[in-house]
């Protein structure tokens, strides 16, 4: 897994790619979320368009990020979930996460 981060209109966009299956990258991902929350940036879009695969550790990473952001008074949404939609549906997490078809729609949802 790799991820890039950028801030657009005070919204943090985390562009995740590859296979999400835990490891050092997952720790770095959480660290980046905490770093932005410390900077009082609490609105997040996680773009999963370039994710090839996700295991249960990857799901745990998303749940942990969601919980961290929510507990800080922020909001986290997902976009481009097509490749992992079946996993989210089977686990019923599809009902937990707000999700949008495109990054643009996700960003607009904060306005």
Determine the CATH number of domain 2-108. Answer: 3.30.750.24
Taking the domains of the chain in order of start, what are their residue ranges? 2-108
pLDDT tens sequence for the chain (111 residues): 999 999 998 999 999 999 998 888 889 999 999 999 999 999 999 999 999 989 989 999 999 999 999 999 999 999 999 999 999 999 999 999 999 999 999 999 998
Sign of CA pseudo-dihedral 101, 103, 108, 111? positive
106: which 2 tokens? 């996700």
Location of structure tokens 């990258």: 25
Q: What is the tens place of the pLDDT at every residue in 4-36?
A: 999 998 999 999 999 998 888 889 999 999 999
Backbone dihedral angles phi then psi of residue 105, each to the nearest 5 degrees:
-60, -40
Q: From CA 104, how far away is CA 106, in angstroms rounded?
A: 5
- Polymer length in residues for the chain: 111
């Amino acid at each position: 897994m790799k991820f890039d981060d950028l801030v657009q209109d005070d919204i943090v966009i985390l562009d995740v790619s590859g296979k999400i299956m835990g490891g050092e990258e997952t720790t770095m991902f959480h660290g980046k979320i905490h770093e932005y929350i410390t900077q009082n940036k609490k609105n997040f879009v996680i773009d999963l368009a370039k994710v090839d695969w996700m295991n249960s550790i990857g799901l745990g990473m998303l749940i942990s990020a969601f919980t961290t952001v929510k507990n800080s008074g922020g909001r986290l949404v997902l976009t481009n979930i097509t490749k992992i939609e079946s996993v989210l549906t089977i686990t019923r997490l599809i009902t937990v996460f707000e999700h949008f078809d495109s990054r643009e729609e996700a960003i607009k949802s904060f306005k």
